[in-house]
Amino acid sequence: MDAPPASLSDPTPFLAIRTGYAVYRGPVADGVIHRHAAFQIAVAPRGEVTMVDAGGARHSSAALVVAPMTPHRLLGAADLLTFYVEPHCVFADGLRSRYPVGIAAAPELRNLREDDVAPTGGGPSRTVDARVAAALDVLRGGDTAMPDLAAFVGLSPQRLRALTRQMREMMGLTPAVVLPALRSPEPRG
């Protein structure tokens, strides 16, 4: 049986994994510094949610957005609504434009519901991830080992490979096809 859509009015704990996102409602314990590939949106049904970044700074708001691969830890809460949004969906395109890096206060998302995420959470992104573009810029200058390239753009090698698959699906092109054109000298006029 499929879990019902997440709502701030229903405090029943649950976890649902959907196309393009996951959602959890329930208590959370103090966490340790970690990071993940998804955008994280944490919404406090009452009061504020608090996270700590890698530098030790505290961030509190009715809702917080954590950009992909941002080191952070969540402080315990009796009740929290948390969305993990695939960074290559249409919903993430909007998050990326408003919250590109770090942990950001997002009080405008205090009433976010699963019904707001679902229509675009599974649709493919309309943009190439900036990290893939940065990786291509690095590769333009010469060969770089995948682990070094991934570290430079803040990803694991596996995640960088997944992003290049996304590029292929979106544009019909892979870095292997694009790189020779990027490396060739500009035509002289």
pTM: 0.68
Q: How confident is the model at residue 173 (pLDDT cuts 50, 70, 90)?
A: low
pLDDT at 1: 40
What is the CB-side half-sphere exposure of residue 183 using CA atoms within 13 A? 13
Helical packing angle, 114-121 and 90-98, nearest 10°: 110
Specify the DSSP element, H or E, that contains 115: helix 114-121
Are 18 and 118 in contact by the 8 Å Cβ rule? The answer is yes
d(CA 33, CA 69): 11
Region 112-129 average pLDDT = 80
Q: For 59-99, how does the pLDDT look when each residue is reduced to its tens digit (9 = 90+)?
A: 999 999 999 889 999 999 999 999 999 887 889 989 988 99
Are 24 and 82 in contact by the 8 Å Cβ rule? The answer is yes
Region 152-179 average pLDDT = 70
d(CA 100, CA 39): 10
